[in-house]
Structure 1
Amino acid sequence: MNKAERTRKFIIEKSASIINRKGMAGTSLSDIMEATKLAKGGIYGNFESKDEICVASFLYLTEKLADQLNRAVLRGGTAKEKFLNLLDAYTEIQNTEGGCPILNFGVESDDTHPNMKEYVKKAIRSSQKRFFDIISDGIAHHEISATVNPKNFSIKVFAMIEGAILFRRVLESDEQMRIIHEAIKLEFESYLI
């Protein structure tokens, strides 16, 4: 990695949690300069715009999240273990970087940042696919009943988890996350063969 690549990486790592917490519109160049201790020229010598930093930050945060979730799935041998590990990973994540980047960037970009909205769409689909793959594989290996629709169930589970993440942050309580976790777990277990 050359010096320019290291500087870009440094700017992204220092900016990501600020942008995730304060939002794209709420984060100023001054915030980024303060976090990185770089001058304006040092920032814009590596990025064309604040929007480019926002996109890079989103990709950085979602990659970290995906890595954590994928590791949880890989610890499982059966569809049941993989699903429950993934579900637990979502509920155990204490995101110190300002909450779920998919939720935060998604809310802000839906009407105002069409480019970012496309990145968020990909992240949502990828997250839903993680559940879809586990369910589909479980059906194929006769671990899960073929009566469950993998696509519909995956969409529902992901939406419930994201809602619970929002409630956890706004209400500053894990109660609703625990309720959602248990409801998803009970429904999933009802499909096991």
Structure 2
Amino acid sequence: MKEFKNLSVRERILKTTKEQFYLKGYDSTSISDIIESASVSRAGFYGNFQSKEELGKEYLDLWKLEINQRFSRLTDSCSSPLQFTKLWYRFLILGIRKGESNGCPLSNFAASRNIQQNSWLKYQQDALNDWLDVMVRLIKRSEIEGTFCSEEKPESIARNFFLIYQGALAMWKIDGEIAHLKEGRQLTEYYLKNISICR
């Protein structure tokens, strides 16, 4: 298949897994689905991954790295959390309108699992903490440069950013209204301006 040209069996499996788990969820995607969509043999699959659980962990690692890189590139180009908020939501809304985004890969994955049986909680927490750390670095740099000042701890600000972001995404997933994401941006901007003590 053209989309798999020059890809190894492992790369084909991972490419397919990234798409299927993201769009359908972990529990709704079977190994047979992956094998069929990746056009590989069952032996080829098990020659690279011992189980679906191992594949799930690889999937989280892939997204963890990709989102971390996206976050880092964007925060590095921003002078303040407020500027980052505007750009982040702009790219998010654009991706949804173009049909390229189905929400947050981490929250989608977590929502598709029974939390009582979710053996990936630590992996999910590690991914979230990595993304929070990127935001914290931006906040601390902004405080040093004087573009943002607050008496709240950077860790608390970063967590509140993600709470609003995930809430807006959840509302969009419920009824498909992009307006929730615009409201999420506005709420975040209001929050950041409200806690700012820079004058």
TM bin (shorter chain): 0.7 to 0.9
The 8 Å contact of residues 22 and 108 in structure 2, kept in 1 or not, is answered as: yes
Would the aligned equivalents of 1:79 and 1:137 in 2 still touch at CA under 8 Å?
Answer: no
Alignment of 1:51-130 (within 5 A): 51-77=53-79, 80-94=82-96, 96=100, 98-107=102-111, 108=113, 110-114=115-119, 116-130=120-134
Query: Do the aligned partners of 2:22 and 2:102 also contact (CA within 8 Å) in 1?
Result: yes
Q: How far apart in 2 are the matches of 1:6 and 1:131?
A: 35
Tell me what 2:42 maps to: 40
Q: 2:178 aligns with which of 174, 177, 193?
A: 174
Checking the alignment, whether the CA contact within 8 Å between 2:89 and 2:181 is kept in structure 1 is no
1:187 aligns with 2:188: no
- The answer as to whether partners of 2:25 and 2:109 remain within 8 angstroms in 1 is yes
Residues 89 and 149 of structure 1, relative CA distance in 2, 3 Å threshold? farther
Check 1:178–1:86 CA distance in 2 against 1; reply closer, same or farther (3 A cut): closer
TM-score, with structure 1 as normaliser: 0.84
Equivalent residues of 2:86, 2:185 under 8 A apart = no
Report the more deviating stretch, 135-144 or 49-58.
Answer: 135-144
| Most deviating of 140-149 and 128-137 | 140-149
- Name the CA distance, whole Å, in 1 between partners of 2:44 and 2:174: 35
Give me the TM-score of the superposition, normalised by structure 2. 0.82
RMSD: 2.4
Moved more, 16-25 or 88-97: 88-97
Secondary structure in structure 2 of the residue aligned to 1:33: helix
Cα distance change of structure 1 residues 109 and 138 upon mapping to structure 2, 3 Å threshold: farther
The residue type equivalent to 2:75 in the other structure is: V
| Residue aligning to 1:135 | 139
Identity among equivalent pairs (%) = 16
Structure number with greater CO (CA < 8 Å, separation at least 6) is: 2
1:16/1:54 contact within 8 Å kept: no
Distance 2:39 2:109 in 1: 25
In 1, are the aligned partners of 2:143 and 2:149 still within 8 Å (CA)? Answer: yes
SS at 2:108 equivalent: helix
Structure 1: gaps spanning 5 or more residues: none
Which of 12, 15, 26 matches 1:24?
26
The answer to which of 53-62 and 93-102 deviates more is 93-102
Measure, in 2, the Cα distance between the counterparts of 1:34 and 1:98: 22
